[in-house]
Chains A and B, each alone.
Chain A
Amino acid sequence: MATVVQEEPATAAQTQRRINLFVWELPVRVTHWVNVTSILILSITGYFIASPPVFATTTTFLGIPGTATFMLGTIRFTHFVTAFVFTISVLYRLAWAFVGNQYARWDQFLPVRRYRRQDMRRMLRYYTFFRREAPPQIGHNPLAGMAYVALYVLFAVQIFTGFALYALAFRTGFWPFAFGWVTHLFGAPGVRMVHDLVMYLIIAFTIHHVYSAILIDMEERSGLVSSIVTGTKALTPESVAQITSQEALARQPRARRKAARLPRGKAEADAGEVRPVDGQ
């Protein structure tokens, strides 16, 4: 991992000693960026399928003669090809949730552990300004994890409705067999409407997602934003120690975990209200 050399005038938080942790494995990063690219392409082409442009007077598009004569055809073709790429990427990431490292696993997304549920509440308080510090995390914070579950539900809806619309073009065989029921349930226009609506929900998610990534990065100075390119986050030793002890405690058998647990109020305080790291 690259050594970070600080050159700008440093604030207290920045000058903290940092530990570089390898968090996001290659498949996690690759599927992330494939998703970003394909959602971008699918949203642009999808928008034009929903509101087709009218080329009343010209057969020329972008200066290339004849292109406009198959404009929507090309847009739809692009949408379909990208849809397959997107679907494969989503399935790959889902599978990786069962074989990947600790930070890619399914239990990062569903708050099955008690300390993750606690962190989720802290995170909620942080976002609603009832708390100054976001609880430190190596992987996803549990609230974000839940947001990704919601996102994947939207993906599933988009994939099922998308393939149901795709199946309309086939008389028999796999596509109508596998996805025809979606159309029979809601009727094709209903499926279209949902497919259209969910695009905007995904866009809404993206707005929130990019903002929180930047916000938390500014808070933690952990290189969160660049971590989805490099795979590495830089955390303070104190944060890492705190997380490691939380995780170790969570791995203990239930009885010992109970004995070791501090009274509720105190545990709260220990786990982050009073942090060893200076706030900026």
Chain B
Amino acid sequence: MASPREDQLAQGVWPALRRRGVSRREFLKFCSVMAGALALPHTYADRIVQALEAATRPAVVWLEFQDCAGNTESALRASHPSITDMILDLLSWNYHETIMAPAGTAAEKSLQDTIAQQKGQYLAIVEGSIPLADGGVYCTIGGRTAIDIAQETCGNALATIAVGTCAAFGGIPAAAGGITGAVSIGQAVPGLKLINLSACPMNGANLAATIVHYLTFKELPATDNLGRPLFAHGDRIHDNCPRRAHYDAGQFVQEWGDQGHQLGWCLYKMGCKGPATNYNCPRVQWNDGTNWPIGVGHGCVGCAQPQFWDAMTPFYRQLPTVPGFGVEVTAQDVGIGVAAAVGALTVGHAVVAGVRNARTARATNQATAASGNATIAVPTNETQTTEGQS
């Protein structure tokens, strides 16, 4: 007879990892990486180890609505000491369209079973935005609308994790010109216990860290005023960018492939949105920490920010163009135009006023001369001083 503790361990995260051939060393490395990702002191690695050894794997359902499965890809591609394995094994995956074995009715049954049997205990992960226009017909799964599924699934979940900018803020389907009435999960189902892991796509390491945080501390990580975890979105790219010294020194790439580009100078003039974007890209990086956009000489496009597709475009320009003017007209052009117009008006006015004054003066002189009665009065020295206050 196994003790309750052994039972728990048997279903826990660590045994699951071991069954998949993860070595103790890899497990410890993973825990340290997670402590680092969460911006915790290294001493917390211990606590994470203990917590993960003891934790049972929470059930998770992963919903995909108006999405491109990019966040799924990102989560599965994450592979620090194989974060992919860790993510897969940290959780008991009950439903995920892209990776689950069952299909059709059987797949939908897994979702319904989880909702029914583990009400209030499973995690819901949402990828993609939710269309509300025309009764939500623009995204249906098994005959049900996205909003219907989201309300039931997220409403009964322990907590909801929005992965990617579409789920967190509406993202690309919600960009100007979209007709589906796409909104974020937070807007679609208000009042959820929700955390927004935005970015296009979000970094799998951040998803793992959020779950590890939850397993370790039994609560979701602290968030900023957009509901994004501070460990991932607390800092500005610009403030952690390895090219920042070039920014401060005024050394900029001016053209793709120019000398500055080859020397790794700042990409601000090429439209880098790092100064407006909060994400841990520079620290966590991508593809096993190989590199990240700015690292390879491409400006940040601000994908972790709300409405980035509208607000951060044009991606390759420092500033957006002024609405109502041509696509090549910058704020500086418009501003200088306005100032120049006012200047020209002023000069024009001065000329007209000058001509008029000269005429009046001549007329007065003639009048005075004609009357032969010059009134060049003696300058007066007595001036009164009065307080203007009345």
Contacts and interface: CB of A to CB of B under 8 A. Distances in A.
A176 interface: yes
Nearest to B342: A204
Interface string B245-282: 10111111010000110000000110001011010000
Interface string A56-70: 100100000000111
A169 B239 contact: yes
A17 interface: yes
A245 interface: no
Contacts of B331: 193-194, 196-197, 200
Contact of B276 (A168, A200, A203, A215): A168
A103 B360 contact: no
B260 to A, nearest CB: 7
B346 A190 contact: no
Contacts of A280: 357, 360-361, 364
B312 interface: yes
A1 B385 contact: yes
A180 B224 CA distance: 11
B383 A207 contact: no
A212 to B, nearest CB: 9
B311 interface: yes
Interface stretch (B28-36, B93-101, B333-341): B333-341
Contacts of A189: 273, 276, 302, 311-312, 319-320
Contact of A187 (B252, B307, B386, B388): B307
B376 interface: yes
Contacts of A218: 357
A117 interface: no
A29 interface: no
B334 A10 contact: no
A162 B185 CA distance: 32
Nearest to A72: B250
A136 B375 CA distance: 23
Given A10-B376, A193-B322, A234-B383, A54 B250 contact: yes
B328 interface: no
Interface in B343-383: 343, 345-346, 349-350, 352-353, 356-357, 360-361, 364, 375-383
A10 B341 CA distance: 36
B390 interface: yes
Contacts of A138: 388
A138 B315 CA distance: 53
B283 interface: no
A197 B224 contact: no
B386 A19 contact: yes
A15 B225 contact: no
Nearest to B239: A169
Contact of A56 (B260, B322, B356): B260
Interface stretch (B2-10, B70-78, B228-236): B228-236
Contacts of B311: 186-190
B383 A4 contact: yes
Most buried by B among A187, A188, A190, A211: A187
Contacts of A129: 352-353, 356
A113 B68 CA distance: 63
A101 interface: yes
B139 to A, nearest CB: 26
Interface residues of A, number: 77
A17 B382 contact: yes
A196 B346 contact: no
B290 interface: no
A277 to B, nearest CB: 13
Given A177-B225, A208-B342, A3 B383 contact: yes
A5 B377 CA distance: 14
Contact of A20 (B247, B306, B386): B386
Given A4-B383, A129-B356, A176 B225 contact: yes
Most buried by B among A10, A68, A70, A207: A207
Contact of B383 (A19, A70, A279): A19
Given A20-B383, A211-B349, A101 B389 contact: yes
Interface string B279-317: 000000000000000000000001001111011100000
Nearest to B377: A15
Contacts of A4: 383
B134 interface: no
Nearest to A3: B383
Contact of B260 (A20, A54, A199, A200): A54
A184 B306 CA distance: 7
Interface in A110-146: 127, 129, 132, 138-139
Most buried by A among B225, B239, B276, B388: B388
B339 A204 contact: yes
B354 to A, nearest CB: 10
Contacts of B251: 54-56
Interface in B34-92: none
A201 B334 CA distance: 10
24 contacts: A3-B381, A12-B377, A17-B383, A50-B318, A50-B319, A70-B248, A70-B249, A73-B249, A138-B388, A180-B225, A187-B305, A187-B310, A188-B311, A189-B311, A196-B331, A197-B322, A197-B331, A197-B334, A199-B335, A208-B342, A208-B345, A208-B346, A215-B353, A280-B360
Given A52-B252, A186-B311, 10 more contacts: A12-B377, A15-B377, A20-B383, A168-B275, A172-B225, A172-B230, A188-B312, A192-B319, A193-B319, A208-B346
Interface of B: 224-226, 230, 234-236, 239, 245, 247-252, 254, 259-260, 268-269, 273, 275-276, 278, 302, 305-308, 310-312, 318-320, 322, 331-332, 334-336, 338-339, 341-343, 345-346, 349-350, 352-353, 356-357, 360-361, 364, 375-390
